[in-house]
Copies of this chain bind each other. A is one copy, B any other.
């Protein structure tokens, strides 16, 4: 259903800015150019410029950098309702790649369309810049995790953050959520080996905190996880609308 898919981004932005009918209409306009991409094949390669942005309707994407020695670091995941490549439109080509993790649907947003929408509705611009700012805060928090948390806390923090993000767009809760990531994805995101990811997940499962199995994350003891991860969701800035 189109409206249900579009509502992911709307829902997310509405948590920050109460949007008017006119603003919602402009937002709707941005969803016109609908496209699909297959899993596993890069949508955007490092170094491409003049790239469009995308609003992800369904499916998951990751952004990553490959090193000369073949190891890869995943920078961030994009989930439904997220912008993808917003920075390369607003600022400049960022030099990392985007890969769909599952087949995805996304709306292509041209630079000109985005700037026109910004000119028309400054409040919408504020909301979208808030989303960009939040993405950046997540990268910073990711850096903190990889630099200063041990594997257990890192994993717990990561899965809690994902849950929080998904809850904001209505596809996750404190009970858990569907998650198409493999243990290899987790390893490349968290700076661990896939083997150690497996052991960490086992430990979390055996200690009764969470289960990650068959594409589903289940939180068994949310409070204990919060404590283990020292998860403070302030950086996600989801406390409620700032503009009325």
Please give the residue numbers on chain A whose beta carbons come within 8 Å of chain B beta carbons, in ascending order: 47, 65, 67-69, 71-73, 75, 87, 90-92, 94-96, 129-130, 132-133, 136-137, 139-144, 146-149, 190-191, 230, 232, 234-235, 237
Contact = CB atoms under 8 A, between A and B. Distances in A.
Nearest to A129: B91
Contacts of A144: 65, 67, 73
> In the complex this chain forms, how many copies of it are found?
2
A142 B142 CA distance: 11
A59 B69 CA distance: 36
Contact of A73 (B47, B69, B148): B148
A141 B75 CA distance: 9
A148 B68 contact: no
A163 to B, nearest CB: 20
A133 B91 contact: yes
A95 B91 CA distance: 21
